Structure formats: C-alpha cells, structure tokens
Structure 1
Amino acid sequence: MSPQARRWADLRRQIIFRAKRLNVGHLIEADQRYGQRDALGPHGVMLFLVSDAPTEPHGYRLHTAYRLWLASPEADDLPRLLSDLADIAAENVARCTAAGRRWHPIGPERSMVNGGDMSPPAGAVYVGVGVTTLDTDHGRWQQVARTLRDVPVGGRRLSAFDLKGQCYTLLTDGTALHIDRDPHARLGVDGIRCTKTLDPDRVTHYNPHHDLTEQGDHDTREVWRKLGLLHNVLTAHLLPGRQP
C-alpha cells in the first residue's frame, strides 16, 4: 500500500481516538452543567485539520477544533443545527469574498468554533468535519441525563461514565466514519464503522459499511445528509477544485 494510503489509514485511527475523547469530554461537561443556566446542548461539531510535521511517523499532526452549544430547543435538533451551520458557512464565504478577504471556519472572523485547537499552524489543511452527540439508542440526552439523578431502588446509581455517545465524521478522501462509544461494550466490540480501511495491511474483500451514509433509520440518514452539506461547503471553499 502506498505511503499516502497508509497516512490516511493512520489519520482515520487518530480521528477516532480524538473524536471519542472529545465525546467523553462533551458528556462530562454536559453532566456537570445539567440543569444550570449554562447547560450544554447534546450536540457539537468537530473540525479536523492537519499540518506538516516531519518528525511524526507519517509526517503530519492532527488538529481538532470544536463547537458546542448551550442547551435550547434549537440546539436539540441536530439535522437543523447542521443545515443552519452550512448556510452560515456559505454566507460567511460569500461575505468575506465580496469584501476581498478569505474566511476560515476557525477564525479569526466569524469563527465556527469555540474550543479545541483554535490556533492551528499557518498552512494547516482541512481534512474533515464531524459531530459529537449525546443522543444514542439509549435515549435522548435530556432523558438519559435525568436517570443519573434518579435514586435507584436497590440498584447501583449510574454515573456519566456509564453513558454512551456517538460521533459521525466525513473526511475529504471520501471516508464516512461512525463511532458508537459504549463503555459497557463486550470485549472486542469497538463500535466503529468506516467506509474505508483502518488497517492498511489487512486484505478485505468486502466491507459491510461501504454505504454507511445510506444505512440506518431516517433520522440517522438525515444527520449524514446535513453533515454532508456542511462538509461540501467547507471542502469547496478550503480545497477549491476538490470534490468531497
């Protein structure tokens, strides 16, 4: 396999690690602020960029910036949140271009993010966008968060570390990646589904996740579709001439 293919496989693994860590941090912060005036919403957006790093094994360093929202009815609707963000990004591109300036989602003007690597090196290249969400097949965040405050009858009280989380990611090489983060998953079940390989040395003749963005129920497919809209806007602007 080519060095470029190995680099992308390594990048996918790094993004999985980074997204899981961010999802856990999102969960802990949302739990701590639950019920307060500054309570966090259940969804966030992640931006992934890479910069040259000759001393690293594959010659790059990953940078992750993110945006979390305060809890509100609007912040509960993930497809709408992504659609609105895509519209805002397109508007920012048009407005800055008309003024003779170049807009970047990390800022400094009209930044899309409010945490993480807010100052990546000059020349860092956009490689993808993702979602961290606390809504899972166990229930919506508001429902699940309330169970942490219930006093169990003769049972063990749950903590935030017992709860699941999810991440969706689209990369500029065409990768779609879904993470079902489950702290109580069976041994050997990593909850990762990816349209492209994570192991460049493994020969795979069939990938059941090759059409990942078309799998699942309507709500899941809608998340992929709206995330794709945002990804298309960012890719067209930051990597002109390249199709996502």
Structure 2
Amino acid sequence: MQIAYRCKRANTSHMTAADQAFGRRDAVSPHAVMLFFTSGSLAEPYGYQLYTATRMWPQSPDSDDLPRLLGDLVEVAADNIAALGRAWSPLGPRGSMVNGGDMTLPAGAVYVGAGVSTLDSDRGRWYEVAATLREATAAGRYMSAFNLKGQCYAALVDGTAMHIDRDPHARLGDTGIHCNKTLDPDRITYHNPYSNLTEQGDDETRAVWRQLIALNTILATHLLARRPA
C-alpha cells in the first residue's frame, strides 16, 4: 500500500510539473518512470523505509509513446549491464536512468520494483485534457490541474502488479487501487477480479504492462544478484 500511495503522490507532482510547463519549450512528457527501493528502519511503522527514484522527460514524439519509452529503457538497461557489469546501477553515476526523487540511497537498500506515472486517463490524452485548463467555463472560471485524473502502474519483484487510478473526485473510501494480489490479509480467499490484471484492458494497456514487467525483470535480475550472500 505504501507504494500505491507513493505513486499517487508522484503522479500529482508529475501533473503539477507538466501543467506549469505546458506549451513551453521545456514542456514535460505525460509519462514518467519510478524505481522503488527499501531499507530497514525500526522507526517506520512497517520496519522499512521506502525510497522512490524518478525519471521525467521533455516532451517529444519518443517520450509521448509509453510502451516505446519503456521498451527503450529495457534496451538501455541491457546495454549498461553488458558494458559495466555488476558495477552498474540505474541510479548512476554512470548510465543513470533517473533524474529526480531519491537518487542517493543508504547502504543496503534493496530494489523492489518499477512503476509508471502517466497523465493520460479515461478522460483523454494529457495534451487534449490539459488544453481545456486554458479555456474558461461559461461562468468565466478556469479549471485547475488538481481537478484532473492521473494513473500509475507498478510491477514489483514479488510478482505484485498494481494499477492506481488517482481521481480527485473519487467517492470516499474508493482508493482507486487495483491489484493482482489481495491488499487485505484478512480476505485472502475472496474472489479477486484483478488476479489477471496485466492481461486486462486494451492493446496499449497490455503493451505497457509487458514492457514494465520486462523493465522490472531485467533490473531485479541484475540488482538482486549484486546483493551479498
């Protein structure tokens, strides 16, 4: 659940950055990537601290195509592993895949998964929806980016897959979190309509899942193999 709520927070920050730069030369891509790490911490409620390193891109045709963007990252990771071997980390200093968030981790931090923040939603593509923010309503009022929806995907090393729908207007109690595994340990036997989450949705959604899982797999295989026995 911590990762789900961290995704929502990152998506809100992503949307704010994209809204502020909308239409400028430094416009921000509607898609961003998150890498999750944990480190033991007795002071935290669950005994660990969650860290999130992020990557945002400038707006471009390449960065606007999410499956392609993730596929390119898989190739970048493979190339860096081939060139640098066990010394390579997605956090750098050589071949860094991130440019924000928690880029410096404590010793012993462990990779736990990868995620995506996207500003596209069931209300439309980001560029179309964001343009409406600049149009006054009949009452002369402008909408705010904080009224817009966003969504996230996360693939974790234990096989967990989550889709997080961040809706500012969701009903009380509706978290927007869909997961292929139960998030309630007291309901492990209930029917889960999202047990095959990564195979649901349209072609583009399934392509996002395939590429995100591929990215998580190559990073997990490399980073967890580096851990001391």
Mapped to 2, the partners of 1:95 and 1:73 lie a distance apart of: 28
Residue 7 of structure 1 corresponds to none
Residue 85 of structure 1 corresponds to 73
CA shift, 1:116, in A, is 0.3
Amino acid at match of 1:195: N
Structure 1 segment 37-186 matched on structure 2, within 5 A? 37-97=25-85, 102-154=87-139, 156-186=141-171
Residue 210 of structure 1 corresponds to 195
Aligned to 2:33, the other structure's residue is in SS state strand
How far does the alpha carbon of each residue in 1:53-100 deviate from its partner, in whole angstroms, 9 at most, with x for none?
Answer: 123232211100000000111110000000000000010011002xxx
CA shift, 1:35, in A, is 1.0
Residue 180 of structure 2 corresponds to 195
CA shift, 1:153, in A, is 2.1
Q: Tell me which moved more, 192-201 or 42-51.
A: 192-201
Mapped to 1, the partners of 2:14 and 2:146 lie a distance apart of: 12
Mapped to 2, the partners of 1:135 and 1:155 lie a distance apart of: 26
Mapped to 2, the partners of 1:25 and 1:55 lie a distance apart of: 26
Mapped to 2, the partners of 1:201 and 1:121 lie a distance apart of: 33
Mapped to 2, the partners of 1:212 and 1:122 lie a distance apart of: 34
How far does the alpha carbon of each residue in 1:95-121 deviate from its partner, in whole angstroms, 9 at most, with x for none?
Answer: 002xxx510111111110000001011
> Is there any run of 5+ residues in structure 2 with no aligned partner, and where?
none
Aligned to 1:185, the other structure's residue is in SS state coil
Mapped to 1, the partners of 2:109 and 2:182 lie a distance apart of: 24
Q: Tell me which moved more, 117-126 or 49-58.
A: 49-58
Q: TM-score, normalised by structure 1?
A: 0.89
How far does the alpha carbon of each residue in 1:176-235 deviate from its partner, in whole angstroms, 9 at most, with x for none?
Answer: 000011111223322110111222233432111110000111111010011111111101
Mapped to 2, the partners of 1:174 and 1:140 lie a distance apart of: 29
Question: What count of residue pairs does the alignment treat as equivalent?
Answer: 226
Mapped to 2, the partners of 1:213 and 1:194 lie a distance apart of: 10
Aligned to 1:106, the other structure's residue is in SS state coil
> Is there any run of 5+ residues in structure 1 with no aligned partner, and where?
1-12
Q: Are 1:237 and 2:225 an aligned pair?
A: no
RMSD, aligned CA: 1.4
CA spacing shift, 1:188–1:57, aligned 2, 3 Å: closer
Mapped to 2, the partners of 1:155 and 1:186 lie a distance apart of: 27
Residue 5 of structure 1 corresponds to none
Q: Percent identity?
A: 61
Q: TM-score, normalised by structure 2?
A: 0.95
